[in-house]
Every structure is written in C-alpha cells, then in structure tokens.
C-alpha cells in the first residue's frame, strides 16, 4: 500500500498564503474597508492557525531529514571504522612479512 505524502514545498505555499491573507485582512480592517461581522473577525486567527500548522509540519519534516542523515552518517562511520580496521590488519601482516624478508636478507 502506497503511503500518501505531501510535497514539502506545499507547506511553504500554505504558510506564505495564510500569512499574506492575514496581513491583507489586517491592513484592510485597519483602513476601515472591511466592516465585518463577528464570525469574520476570527478570520485572521484561523489564518494564523493554518500558518502555524504549516510551519510545524515543515519543521517536523526537516527534523526527520536531519534524523535520517544522522542515522546514515553513523552507519557510514561504523562501516568506515570496520574498513579501517581491515586495512590496519592487512598493513600489520605486510609489515610482519617485510620484517621477515629483511631478517633473511641480513
């Protein structure tokens, strides 16, 4: 079953559109152009709520990406340490062989 996911850019658009709606509403209300009933007074609060939710969604996705990168880095580091140990062991074997060869030649 395919999981439904929203493109993170959508959250940016939702955030900026809701902030724009709130700012435009505040300017028009302050200028006296908007004479609104009580239920419309709640419009900037609803817009602000949408902006906050979009912001936290975006932040949550960024934190998930950071967590994923952190796990990848730790996995890479453990593999690199194992590879380094293998190289060090191989180098130690070659060093021992070189010492034996030098002892035979001397």
**Per-residue confidence (pLDDT) for residue 2, from 0 to 100:** 61
- pLDDT, averaged per 10 consecutive residues of the chain (106 residues), comes to 68 83 84 76 80 85 83 86 86 85 82
* Residue 90 domain flag: yes
Q: Which residues contact 11 (CB under 8 A, 6 or more apart)?
A: 54, 55, 57, 58, 61
* Residue 1 domain flag: no
Which has the closest alpha carbon to 25: 3, 45, 4? 45
Task: Count how many domains the chain has.
Answer: 1
Structure tokens given for 47? 């817009």
Which has the closest alpha carbon to 12: 59, 68, 45? 59
Domain residue limits at 19: 8-105
Task: Evaluate whether 43 touches 25 at the Cβ level (below 8 Å).
Answer: yes
**Per-residue confidence (pLDDT) for residue 3, from 0 to 100:** 66
* Residue 95 domain flag: yes
Q: Which residue's entry shows tokens 């130690």?
A: 92
**Per-residue confidence (pLDDT) for residue 80, from 0 to 100:** 86
* Residue 41 domain flag: yes
**Per-residue confidence (pLDDT) for residue 90, from 0 to 100:** 85
* Residue 3 domain flag: no
**Per-residue confidence (pLDDT) for residue 64, from 0 to 100:** 83
């Amino acid at each position: 079953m395919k999981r439904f996911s929203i493109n993170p850019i959508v959250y940016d658009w939702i955030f900026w559109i809701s902030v724009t709606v709130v700012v435009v509403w505040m300017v028009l209300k302050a200028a006296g152009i908007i004479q609104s009933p009580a239920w419309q007074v709640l419009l900037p609060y609803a817009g602000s709520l949408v902006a906050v939710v979009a912001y936290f969604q975006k932040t949550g996705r960024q934190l998930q990406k950071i967590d994923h990168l952190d796990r990848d880095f730790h996995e890479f580091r453990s593999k690199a340490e194992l590879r380094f140990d293998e190289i060090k062991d191989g180098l130690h074997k070659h060093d021992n062989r070189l010492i034996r060869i030098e002892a035979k030649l001397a």
